[in-house]
A and B are shown apart, each in its own frame.
Chain A
Amino acid sequence: MTTNYMGKATSRVDGRAKVTGAAKYAAEYNVPNLAYGYIVTSAIARGRITKIDASEALAVEGVLQVFTHENRHKIAEDDQSYEDEAASPGSPFRPLYDNQIKFSGQPVALVVAEEFEIARYAASLVHIEYKVESHETDLSKVRANGYEPKIKRMEGFEPVKPRGNAEKAFQRAVHQHDAEYDLPIEHHNPMELFASTAVWEGNGKITIYDKNQGAQNCQRYIANIFGFPMDDVRVISPFVGGAFGSGLRPQYQIFLAALAARELKCSVRVSLTRQQMFGLGYRPNTLQRVAIGAAKDGALEAFMHDALANTSRYEDYQEMVVNWAGSLYQCDNMKFSYNIAQLDLCTPMDMRAPGGAPGMYAIECAMDELAYKVGCDPLELRLKNYSEKDQNEGKPFSSKELRACYRQAAEKFGWANRKPQPGSMRDGSELIGWGMATGIWEAMQQPASARAVLTSDGKLEVSSATADIGTGTYTIMTQIAAETLGLPLQDVTFKLGDSTLPQSPIEGGSWTAATNGSAVKKVCDAVGAKLFAMAQKMEASPFANLKFEDVAFSEGQMRLKNDSDRGVAIGEIMRHGGATTLAEEATSSPDEAKQEPYARYTHSAIFVEVKVDEELRTIRVTRIVIAVAGGRILNPKTARSQVLGAAVGAIGMALEEESVVDQNLGRIMTHNLADYHVPVNADVYDIDVIFVEEHDTIVNPLGVKGLGEIGIVGTAAAIANAVFHATGKRVRDMPITVDKLF
């Protein structure tokens, strides 16, 4: 039996629950006397409700209530109560608050009935009259209205100050590239529909099974809005059927379920339909200008990146679209700007690699275009301008094995065999295109707490209120805990997705492995230290004159590091110490003094092969090789899945996904999974994921950097670059569909 788990490919500890259907998601708690809510959404994009007639709906047998802004009971009236961990500055959306319509698809009524089918039917009988106001939902029409957000969402989201004189350097440069890139609105579309099952506990308490990426974030939201004492609200979400950022903020169904449960004093489930999920936050439409000036040999002399993205009328959504070039490429003259413009749509939300995926798509397409102008290999251009330090912050990198990424991925891909001329490689009727790009994402850590309870039978339970949205959190936390205390994997249980567990931030930004992993490591070390103190008091203790650093845990025993044959079983130590359980709680915070002097990033290199039918212009992404420098890899199996899945997401981003707004109606018309295309199995061929060795002692105690986002950053650009190499046609507005290649 070995108890070294970190770094070993390990099947998911929740795998059995997921393949047998035992894993329960938010809409799957069938509590007694459950009522069902069905949401009615607005048909118009802007205006106000002049009349809601719910009389027909209320007359249907089995209908319990129809909630609207007219009859809801008191809820909070200040913006602060509606804010959450991922909110942007502004006035958060308040469901059923007043008669104002801010976007098409806004919830305007909730029908609650004894049965799901009754609620659905009655919802069709709620008649709403509107006073329609003219709307604007087209970003390209409001360029002039773009503004720099006055209140920043968080530090680091604003463009860094210009360095040198980018305009001048650009004008003087031998090679100039200046173009605009357009990324449309995209929706996360996790497979699970947003849902909440609110259980009315009878004593004024409410328990809500909810789909989210932060149970405590949702707990605070509900407590604040409805005036519940914090302890009376419990939010539980052990399984989350995908989220990709869509669960970072409480979604409106949790509000509606809580509202109905509180007022009807019964348990209520509210589930969105797939169509209604297109009324949730999304990756915003982004128009980006990238202007690069380079010397004859390709050395960068000027880099300008200006982004305009849409937001809603009520919140200044922000993400870091620009700045990336300053970390990634050596260039003395750089200038960035980031503006937003308001549209009559709901507020955008963080979607997988927010800012990074759109920003790096434009940057890496632009670098590819520059390579053709310079007449050098796109990989050579990146290597020539490789940054040895982060110029934005003027700091060295805590670690940066990007060169190894380029080298290993290029070799695996066979990049050396590429013929540079577009359209020069073919396989029968198909043109072959080879493209590459770079990826970058921040390695972040947040404060978090964890609890560990060890029982004398050698079982360990560790917990923290984070989420596992498919990322493998359950598994890697179990691995960390098992290895730290030297226990068999099956004797360790990790709990998450419950607001009563120790404090955790929302699960996002690729920070969970570092954040909660560090807390888990710390709390297990604390348990180990307690055990050590106990062991030292044992009669004839082999540890009597040692320090805690001198022992290690493995195979259920505390052992001498320098003489691993000498050890005592954990259970024996506890029995001698008279303890049946050992419980510890610990909070881990980033070591700012250690981290601050360094720029901390995950990097990747992506190489893509596409085959494009010469005549029909249909595109197949036949090969992707992606090498990632992400620090320590805790579980190569789940890590690979994260990167591979993100690369599939990038296929969608590059070739398929678009939430198309009918500008006449101000309404998203591709609001289902038949019209909003995401990749299917037949779209995906070989994806090869390489993890490059990277040791980082700065980022966090575990040396992990996080992998949830990196796979999608730059990958869409690599695909677009491959399409150009195949066809000679540069498409700068995503997605690249057949019609754009004629």
Chain B
Amino acid sequence: MNNKSGVETAGNVSTSLPPKSWITLKINGAERHLEIAPWTILLDALRNLLDLTGTKKGCDHGQCGACTVLIDGKPINSCLTLAIMHDGAEVTTIEGIAKGDALHPVQQAFIEHDAFQCGYCTPGQICSAVGLLNAGKLRTPDDIRELMSGNICRCGAYPNIVAAIEQAMQSEGSAAQ
């Protein structure tokens, strides 16, 4: 967090590439080793290098939420972080939300309530909701509407998304009782 003021010029143009190094990510429970350069964004590492294409790129600037994954359980925008910064971290992507063939209650509720159309924002929506539910941040429909606002759905499935998450909350609640 140094002073971000001032403008850097690139100076001499670099024609050689930044050196790569090995990192380990624990993705969906499995250790994945990866040789990457510092400039590889976590989102691009998942999609291009690890073939985990369920995590989506919708804006690449933290303005849509399609790239949401859980890092150590917390939802984050994977487009705004370097993969190398997460050496050793636990990453959960949409591919790791279901338990084998058994869908997570949020996934099941999304299907039942038709909480998506094109499906492109859906993995981000689901990761976001799962993270919020796990953290106990959702109590009312207003909570859902506000806290899910970081996940844009251009198809406009919002009322169905709210209904799906409410259902998942109830099933979690009944499971806890």
Physical interaction between A and B:
yes
Which A residues have a C-beta under 8 Å from some C-beta of B? 11-12, 14-25, 27-28, 30, 36, 56, 59-62, 116-118, 121, 125, 189-193, 239-244, 271, 273-274, 469-472, 637-638, 640-642, 644-649, 672-674, 678-684, 686-687
Q: List 18 A-B contacts (CB under 8 A).
A: A15-B116, A19-B94, A19-B110, A20-B94, A21-B94, A117-B39, A192-B56, A470-B155, A640-B114, A645-B117, A646-B156, A672-B59, A673-B63, A673-B152, A674-B61, A679-B158, A680-B158, A681-B161
Interface string of B102-133 (1 = CB under 8 A from A): 01000100111010111111110010000000
Q: Does B80 contact A (CB under 8 A)?
A: no
* Across-interface contacts of A644 in B (CB, < 8 A): 156-157, 159-160
| Contact present for B111 and A16 (CB under 8 Å) | yes
| Contact present for B149 and A241 (CB under 8 Å) | no
* Across-interface contacts of A60 in B (CB, < 8 A): 14-15, 17
* Across-interface contacts of B138 in A (CB, < 8 A): none
Query: How far is A15 from B107 in the complex, measured between Cα atoms in Å?
Result: 9
Give B1-39 interface residues, CB cut-off 8 Å to A: 13-17, 37, 39
- Of the stretches B40-48, B70-78, B169-177, the one at the interface is B40-48
Write the chain A residue with the least CB distance to B107. Answer: A19
Q: Does B84 contact A (CB under 8 A)?
A: no
| Contact present for A684 and B145 (CB under 8 Å) | yes
Query: How far is A125 from B13 in the complex, measured between Cα atoms in Å?
Result: 8
With A19-B122, A644-B160, A682-B146: A470-B152 Cβ-Cβ less than 8 Å: no
* Across-interface contacts of B144 in A (CB, < 8 A): 681
Say what secondary structure dominates the interface of chain B.
Answer: loop
* Across-interface contacts of A687 in B (CB, < 8 A): 159
Query: How far is A19 from B119 in the complex, measured between Cα atoms in Å?
Result: 7
Write the chain B residue with the least CB distance to A19. Answer: B107
* Across-interface contacts of B56 in A (CB, < 8 A): 25, 191-192, 241
Which B residues have a C-beta under 8 Å from some C-beta of A? 13-17, 37, 39-40, 44, 47-48, 51-61, 63-64, 66, 93-95, 97-98, 103, 107, 110-112, 114, 116-123, 126, 144-146, 148-162
* Across-interface contacts of A678 in B (CB, < 8 A): 152, 154
Write the chain A residue with the least CB distance to B41. Answer: A117
| Contact present for B44 and A192 (CB under 8 Å) | no
| Contact present for A686 and B159 (CB under 8 Å) | yes
| Contact present for B63 and A674 (CB under 8 Å) | yes
* Across-interface contacts of B107 in A (CB, < 8 A): 19-20
Query: How far is A244 from B118 in the complex, measured between Cα atoms in Å?
Result: 11
Chain B nearest CB: distance from A714 CB in Å? 16
Q: When A and B form their complex, what is the total count of cross-chain residue pairs whose Cβ atoms lie within 8 Å?
A: 191
| Contact present for B58 and A117 (CB under 8 Å) | no
* Across-interface contacts of B60 in A (CB, < 8 A): 273-274
| Contact present for A638 and B114 (CB under 8 Å) | yes
Most chain A beta-carbon contacts within 10 A, residue among B53, B150, B155, B157: B155
| Contact present for A18 and B119 (CB under 8 Å) | yes
* Across-interface contacts of A189 in B (CB, < 8 A): 154
| Contact present for B158 and A648 (CB under 8 Å) | yes
| Contact present for B17 and A244 (CB under 8 Å) | no
Query: How far is A18 from B98 in the complex, measured between Cα atoms in Å?
Result: 12
| Contact present for A637 and B120 (CB under 8 Å) | no
| Contact present for A470 and B116 (CB under 8 Å) | yes
| Contact present for B154 and A681 (CB under 8 Å) | no
With A471-B117, A681-B162: A672-B39 Cβ-Cβ less than 8 Å: no
* Across-interface contacts of B111 in A (CB, < 8 A): 11-12, 15-16, 19
* Set A20, A645, A683: member contacting B155, Cβ < 8 A: A645
| Contact present for B156 and A62 (CB under 8 Å) | no
| Contact present for A192 and B120 (CB under 8 Å) | yes
With A11-B111, A191-B153: A25-B40 Cβ-Cβ less than 8 Å: no
* Set A242, A271, A641: member contacting B120, Cβ < 8 A: A242
Query: How far is A19 from B124 in the complex, measured between Cα atoms in Å?
Result: 10
| Contact present for B61 and A192 (CB under 8 Å) | no
Chain A nearest CB: distance from B101 CB in Å? 10
| Contact present for B117 and A21 (CB under 8 Å) | no
With A21-B94, A30-B53, A191-B154: A470-B63 Cβ-Cβ less than 8 Å: no
| Contact present for B159 and A241 (CB under 8 Å) | no
Chain B nearest CB: distance from A221 CB in Å? 23
| Contact present for B103 and A16 (CB under 8 Å) | yes
Seed contacts A30-B53, A470-B119, A678-B152; 19 additional CB < 8 Å A-B pairs: A11-B114, A19-B110, A19-B116, A21-B123, A27-B47, A27-B53, A28-B47, A191-B121, A191-B152, A192-B58, A192-B120, A241-B120, A470-B117, A644-B156, A649-B156, A672-B61, A673-B64, A674-B61, A681-B144
